[in-house]
Amino acid sequence: MLLASLDPSAADIGDAVRIGDVTLSRDNLVGAASAVAERIAGAHRVAVLAAPTVSTVLSVTGCLLAGVPVVPVPADVGRAERRHILADSGAQVWLGDRPDEDEGLAHIPVRLRAHSGHSHPEPPPDAVALVIYTSGTTGPPKGVQLSRRAIAADLDALALAWQWTAGDTLVHGLPLFHVHGLVLGLLGSLRIGNRFVHTGKPTPAAYARACSEAGGTLYFGVPTVWSRVVADPAAAEALRPARLLVSGSAPLPVPVFGELARLTGHSPVERYGSTESLITLSTRADGERRPGWVGLPLAGVQTRLIDDAGDPVPQDGKTIGQLQVRGPTLFDGYLNRPDATAEVFDADGWYRTGDVAVVDRGGMHRIVGRESVDLIKSGGYRVGAGEIETALLGHPDVAEAAVVGLPDEDLGQRIVAFVVGDAEPDSLIDYVAQQLSVHKRPREVRIVDSLPRNAMGKVLKTELLAQG
């Protein structure tokens, strides 16, 4: 059973799910979600406006009970992208909340007080549970089809790696339309049986309050969240009673890792994955947590690094290779896009992540970044942007940094750093040259007020590249 904790024979939990000021007991959740399941049983696909609300929780849970694929739609998405998601997915109705411009789609409301005792047979493991649309950086967003089997395999592997049990209280304030907040946070809790607290917004104060008032033990955050936590020492100190802090969706700056460990007493767990693969790499609750490294393959997952010719690269912790993964957590292809699906899988089932990484002799992985924007080929050298960004963030006058390779007639690509901070550009170039090999120094540093980011805190390097 995918949502194992919702088995009718399970004991009630008075505060199983809390979002903002609304709390649901386990029995209330099952009853209201079962009522939703009755209303949408047999539907092809349904769209859920995935704001952090109880309506979203009941909508998604009801669909999974009924075996109806869910299409989570970001609440803040633009109209053109929303139209594309609805048309491409073939969603038949809005379930729960709906946007002001509903595109003419029928609407089924969700009632918190509704209750049904009807039970639904568990759908087949290979049935599609979610169709999550990617960010669409290289064209219109693609619908990633995630099976119940893949989600269950990933959550079980994470539970093993993080020693995640029903005794935990999981806290986060992340969006419910991405893997991080929806699959790991909500569905993970409904599978494992722990209490789930969504803070609405992921502010340091809200995270601290959840620790003291709700007994938060397991916290999820993106690097932006953790950066704000360490900037609020009182809030960071309040997280000391927690058991585990987890960072993902973007690289955690090494200085933030260090400050988080110092202020909270917890070295954060870092992990790596994507919408298509779910989480495939992680440091462990009982293992080494090395700043800047995302750990070992989860149970059942295989990884390999290859060069441009398809040959394995050395596991020396330095040589950069293209990261490929294989295992039970992989998606079942892009909806309506067999061509795009074929491009990312080889004949042996290896998924081409599009990321580049290094791996050491112990199997620990460090993600360099996207092959398209983070692998810089300059003057005959292959340079990872992440290594330079880490060096820059070690400078006391640098708050944020993003490095890209811009076209250069002489070097092929020249290393350019976009920096938020007060340092002089020339001093930063010299600083990196002292920390790393000289050929890895930026040839240009541009001081900016802010870096463009998406909802999960990832820097939009395509926008930086467009500045030329």
Q: What is the mean pLDDT of the chain?
A: 93
C-alpha torsion angle, residues 70, 76, 80, 82 (rounded to 10): 10
| pTM, entire model | 0.89
For residues 139-162, give the mean pLDDT: 96
Beta-bridge partner residues of 405: 415
CA nearest to 18, candidates 64, 48, 53, 62: 53
CA nearest to 116, candidates 37, 202, 173: 37
Beta strand ranges found along 5-142 (DSSP E): 17-19, 22-24, 46-49, 70-73, 93-95, 106-108, 128-133
- Expressed in percent and rounded to 5, the helix, strand and coil fractions of the chain are 30, 25, 45
CA distance 162 to 220: 12
Instruction: Please check whether residue 352 is in contact with residue 322, taking contact to mean a CB–CB distance below 8 angstroms.
Output: yes
Using the predicted structure, report yes or no on whether residue 381 has a pLDDT greater than 80: no
Q: What CATH number does the domain located at 375-465 have?
A: 3.30.300.30
The domain limits of the chain are 4-200, 268-370, 375-465
Longest CA–CA separation in the chain, Å: 71
Residue with the two structure tokens 């500045």: 467
Q: How many C-beta neighbours within 10 Å does residue 27 have? A: 17
3-state DSSP assignment of residue 242: coil
CA distance 218 to 266: 11
Using the predicted structure, report yes or no on whether residue 372 has a pLDDT greater than 90: no
Instruction: Please check whether residue 321 is in contact with residue 313, taking contact to mean a CB–CB distance below 8 angstroms.
Output: yes
pLDDT of residue 224: 87
For residues 188-207, give the mean pLDDT: 97
For residues 426-442, give the mean pLDDT: 90
Using the predicted structure, report yes or no on whether residue 136 has a pLDDT greater than 80: no
For residues 424-447, give the mean pLDDT: 91
Max avg pLDDT among 104-118, 231-245, 399-413, 424-438: 231-245
Do 375-465 and 268-370 fall under one CATH topology? no
Using the predicted structure, report yes or no on whether residue 153 has a pLDDT greater than 80: yes
Topology, domain 268-370: Luciferase; domain 3 (2.30.38)
CA distance 367 to 385: 10
CB-based burial, 453-464: b 16+ in 10 Å, e otherwise: bebbbbbbbeeb
pLDDT of residue 104: 86
Q: For residue range 215-255, what is the model confidence (pLDDT) as tens digits? A: 999 999 999 899 999 999 999 999 999 999 999 988 888 88
CA distance 377 to 365: 21
By CB neighbour count within 10 A (0-12 exposed, 13-18 middle, 19+ buried), where does 101 fall? exposed
Using the predicted structure, report yes or no on whether residue 138 has a pLDDT greater than 70: no
Using the predicted structure, report yes or no on whether residue 21 has a pLDDT greater than 80: yes
| Residue 50 pLDDT level (bands cut at 50, 70, 90) | very high
pLDDT of residue 174: 94
What does the block give as tokens for 180? 């991080």
pLDDT of residue 300: 98
pLDDT of residue 386: 82
The one-letter amino acid code at 221 reads G
pLDDT of residue 455: 65
Q: For residue range 273-324, what is the model confidence (pLDDT) as tens digits? A: 999 999 999 999 999 999 999 999 999 999 999 999 999 999 999 999 999 9
CA distance 370 to 350: 17
3-state DSSP assignment of residue 409: coil
Q: 4-200 domain in CATH 3.20.20.70?
A: no
CA 97 → CA 43, 114, 176, 236, distances in Å?
A: 18, 16, 14, 34
